[in-house]
C-alpha cells in the first residue's frame, strides 16, 4: 500500500470508532498515520497503542474541524510529510433531533465539519496527490445521504454533499493515479452511536450494528473500487436502495427508519 499511495496517511476523526479502525488498518499495512481529533487524551492513547502494535510512526494533531482555519493548520503541521491516503471521518451527529430543536450554531458547526471540512481537506491534500500521480481519498458518508428524513435534515444533507463530492472527485481524478471512495456507512457500533443512545436514555444493543474494524478493512481493501462503496451491502457498488421509489415515498421511508432507530414509533402522517 505504501508503494501505491505513499508513506503517510491522515485520519480526520481518528480518535475512536471507524476513524481509529482506519488508523489500525493503515498501520497494519505499513503506513505511518496522522490522527486528527479534538480530544487530546483519547488521541494520545490511540496513538500509543498503534505505535506499540505496528511499529509505525504516529503523529497526533488536536483540532476542532468546525473552525475556519483548522484545515490550513493541519496542512501547516504536516507540510514535512508526503500524505498519500486521506480519510475524512469526522462529523457524526450524536443528537438526532427535529430541525428546530437544535440551535442554529449547532447546524452550522455540522455543515462546517461535514461540507467545508472534506471539501477543503480534499483540495489541500488531494492536489499534491494528483501532482505526484498517486494517492487515495476516502470521504466517509452515511445511508442518511440517500433521501431526506425527519430529524436528519442537516446531517443527511451534509452527508449527501460528501457523497456527491466523492463521486465527482473520483470522476475527475480517476485517470491521474488517485483513487477516491465515498464510503457509505450504515448503523455502526461506535462511541458516538453509544453516546447518542445514552443521551436518550435508551439501552444500547449492538445487534444489527456493523463492526468498525470490519468496515475499515473492507474500505481499505476496495480503495480502487470507487466511486461509491456501501459498507456491508450484498451489492456494495449499487445505487441508492430507494432508487425505485418516488422521492416522496423515499423521504417517508427514511423518516420511519430514523424514528425506528431512535426507538420511537413513526406516526406515518404525510
Asked, as a colleague might, if the bond just before 227 is cis with ω within 30 of 0, I would say yes
Ordered by start, the domain boundaries in the chain are 2-261
Residue 155 a catalytic site member: yes
Spot the catalytic one: 5, 54, 88, 159: 159
Residue 53 a catalytic site member: no
pLDDT along the chain (270 residues), means of 10: 94 93 98 96 96 98 94 98 97 84 95 96 98 98 95 96 98 97 87 59 67 96 97 94 94 88 45
Q: Enter the CATH code of domain 2-261.
A: 3.40.50.720
Q: What is the pLDDT of residue 82?
A: 98
Q: What is the pLDDT of residue 264?
A: 43
CA distances in angstroms from 15 to 20, 41, 53, 60, listed in the order given: 5, 9, 16, 9
Phi-psi region of 59 (alpha: psi -120 to 50; beta: other; left: phi over 0): beta
Question: All 3 cell numbers of residue 182?
Answer: 465515498
Spot the catalytic one: 5, 54, 155, 204: 155
Q: What is the pLDDT of residue 269?
A: 36
Amino acid at each position: 500500500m505504501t508503494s501505491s499511495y505513499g508513506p503517510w496517511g491522515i485520519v480526520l476523526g481518528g480518535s475512536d470508532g471507524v476513524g481509529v479502525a482506519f488508523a489500525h488498518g493503515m498501520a497494519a499495512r505499513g503506513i505511518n498515520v496522522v490522527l486528527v481529533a479534538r480530544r487530546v487524551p483519547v488521541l494520545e492513547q490511540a496513538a500509543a497503542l498503534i505505535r506499540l502494535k505496528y511499529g509505525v510512526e504516529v503523529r497526533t494533531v488536536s483540532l476542532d474541524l468546525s473552525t475556519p482555519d483548522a484545515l490550513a493548520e493541519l496542512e501547516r503541521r504536516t507540510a514535512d510529510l508526503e500524505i498519500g491516503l486521506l480519510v475524512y471521518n469526522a462529523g457524526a451527529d450524536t443528537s438526532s433531533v427535529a430541525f428546530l430543536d437544535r440551535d442554529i450554531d449547532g447546524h452550522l458547526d455540522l455543515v462546517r465539519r461535514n461540507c467545508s471540512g472534506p471539501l477543503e481537506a480534499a483540495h489541500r491534500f488531494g492536489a499534491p496527490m494528483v501532482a505526484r500521480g498517486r494517492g487515495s481519498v476516502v470521504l466517509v458518508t452515511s445511508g442518511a445521504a440517500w433521501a431526506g428524513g425527519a430529524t436528519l435534515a442537516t446531517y443527511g444533507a451534509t452527508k449527501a454533499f460528501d457523497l456527491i463530492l466523492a463521486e465527482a472527485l473520483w470522476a475527475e481524478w480517476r485517470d491521474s493515479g488517485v483513487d477516491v471512495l465515498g464510503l457509505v456507512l450504515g448503523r455502526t457500533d461506535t462511541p458516538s452511536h453509544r453516546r447518542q443512545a445514552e443521551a436518550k436514555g435508551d439501552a444500547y444493543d449492538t445487534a444489527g450494528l456493523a463492526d468498525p474494524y470490519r468496515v475499515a478493512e473492507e474500505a481499505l481493501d476496495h480503495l480502487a473500487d470507487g466511486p461509491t462503496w456501501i459498507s456491508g451491502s450484498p451489492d456494495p457498488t449499487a445505487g441508492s436502495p430507494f432508487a425505485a421509489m418516488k422521492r416522496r415515498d423515499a423521504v417517508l421511508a427514511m423518516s420511519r427508519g430514523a424514528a425506528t432507530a431512535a426507538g420511537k414509533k413513526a406516526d406515518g402522517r404525510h
